[in-house]
């Protein structure tokens, strides 16, 4: 089977449409359709049910999907292994990162990588940490640099690089900002603005309130911390933000609670061979990050 045909098949299965797959692979939709037609002809089986503009995998398609991912993964691994025999640091390095880490921690490392190894083609994607974690498990990216999960999957290798100190904050005009020696119970009585409850950060905060058997009244959610910061700055509620992005628009609340730290670092799939570019970038991160 032609690997380009399999790439088109996997792209359609993951994106749910021929047009989205064509955009992802930088191809025209007719080119994508032709590849699938040739693959179906070769396998003598229909791979997709076409319902309007949406497509769904047939039973044959479901059987092929996991096999196709394995085949493509092995092809990529073989290409990397052969290229790395030369000892050159080049080729594509695919990285997933959260907006917070990508904007506030990674720039100097990305700049050093591009300066020292100009032959490396950086493929950078900004995703929520939880989505990036899932994509690493699926073998989509070489590495992810994110907020680390509270519990790691056994297939994931991880390394903490930074500890992000979180602070309870609100607008200077918020009722909580004028009080001292606040308890979690005081915060519980007011509306909070947080990331989605499925995120590692909100799970961490929710655990604190659950341990005290206190409700956490989350009235608005956003996974973009800059959006949360804006909403908090105009007095819409209280929230929890990394100290790194707090400025004069917000007041750090005087909450009687030990410092809250969340680990930031990199992850990669333990069964995915890292190419030279990925290895040197991880070395840059590990050797130039203050402990």
Averaged pLDDT in 10-residue chunks for the chain of 291 residues: 88 88 89 92 90 84 89 76 67 92 94 92 93 91 93 91 95 95 96 93 94 95 93 96 95 94 94 87 81 45
Alpha helices by DSSP H, the chain = 3-15, 18-25, 29-43, 59-84, 99-104, 107-116, 129-137, 184-188, 200-211, 225-233, 276-287
pLDDT for the residue numbered 76: 74
Kindly give, in sequence order, each residue whose CB lies less than 8 Å from that of residue 276, ignoring residues fewer than 6 positions away.
83, 84, 87, 88, 89, 90, 91
Nearest to 174 by CA among 158, 190, 193: 190
pLDDT for the residue numbered 102: 94
Measured CA to CA, the distance from residue 91 to residue 278 in angstroms comes to: 10
Measured CA to CA, the distance from residue 141 to residue 93 in angstroms comes to: 8
Q: Which two tokens stand for residue 253?
A: 């609340």
Structural domains of the chain ordered from first start: 3-83 (1.10.10.10), 89-162+264-287 (3.40.190.10), 163-261 (3.40.190.290)
Measured CA to CA, the distance from residue 273 to residue 256 in angstroms comes to: 46
Q: Does the predicted model carry a pTM greater than 0.85? A: no
pLDDT for the residue numbered 86: 62
CA distances from 104 to 28, 57, 89, 151 (A): 37, 40, 26, 24
Kindly give, in sequence order, each residue whose CB lies less than 8 Å from that of residue 256, ignoring residues fewer than 6 positions away.
181, 182, 183
Phi/psi of residue 127, nearest 5 degrees: -140, 160
CB 102 within 8 A of CB 128: no
β-partners of residue 213 are none
CB 191 within 8 A of CB 184: no
Measured CA to CA, the distance from residue 267 to residue 270 in angstroms comes to: 9
CB 29 within 8 A of CB 40: no
Measured CA to CA, the distance from residue 29 to residue 60 in angstroms comes to: 22
pLDDT for the residue numbered 291: 45
Running DSSP on this structure, what letter comes out for residue 18?
Answer: H
pLDDT for the residue numbered 51: 75
Measured CA to CA, the distance from residue 42 to residue 240 in angstroms comes to: 55
| Alpha-carbon 183 to chain mean position | 33
Kindly give, in sequence order, each residue whose CB lies less than 8 Å from that of residue 57, ignoring residues fewer than 6 positions away.
13, 47, 48, 49, 65
Nearest to 138 by CA among 203, 65, 201: 65
């Amino acid at each position: 089977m032609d690997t380009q045909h399999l790439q088109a098949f996997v792209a359609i299965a993951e994106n749910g449409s021929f047009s989205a797959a064509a955009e992802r692979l930088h191809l025209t939709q007719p080119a994508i359709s032709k590849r699938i037609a040739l693959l179906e002809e070769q396998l003598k089986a229909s791979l997709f049910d076409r319902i309007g503009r949406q497509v769904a995998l047939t039973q044959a398609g479901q059987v092929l999907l996991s096999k196709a991912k394995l085949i493509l993964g092995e092809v990529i691994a073989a290409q990397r292994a052969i290229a790395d025999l030369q000892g050159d640091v080049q080729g594509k390095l695919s990285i997933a990162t959260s907006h917070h880490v990508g904007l506030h921690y990674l720039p100097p490392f990305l700049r050093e990588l591009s300066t020292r190894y100009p032959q490396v083609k950086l493929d950078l994607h900004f995703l929520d940490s939880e989505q990036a974690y899932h994509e690493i498990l699926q073998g989509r990216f070489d590495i992810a640099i994110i907020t680390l999960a509270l519990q790691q999957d056994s297939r994931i290798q991880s390394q903490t690089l930074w500890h992000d100190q979180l602070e309870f904050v609100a607008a200077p005009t918020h009722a909580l900002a004028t009080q001292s020696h606040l308890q979690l119970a005081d915060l519980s009585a007011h509306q909070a603005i947080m990331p989605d409850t499925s995120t590692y950060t909100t799970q961490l905060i929710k655990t604190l309130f659950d341990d005290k058997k206190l409700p956490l009244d989350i009235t608005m959610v956003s996974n973009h911390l800059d959006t949360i910061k804006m909403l908090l700055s105009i007095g819409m509620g209280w929230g929890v933000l990394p100290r790194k992005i707090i400025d004069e628009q917000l007041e750090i609340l005087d909450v009687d609670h030990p410092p809250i730290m969340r680990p930031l670092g990199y992850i990669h799939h333990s069964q995915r061979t890292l190419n030279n570019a990925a290895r040197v970038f991880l070395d840059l991160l590990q050797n130039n990050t203050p402990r």
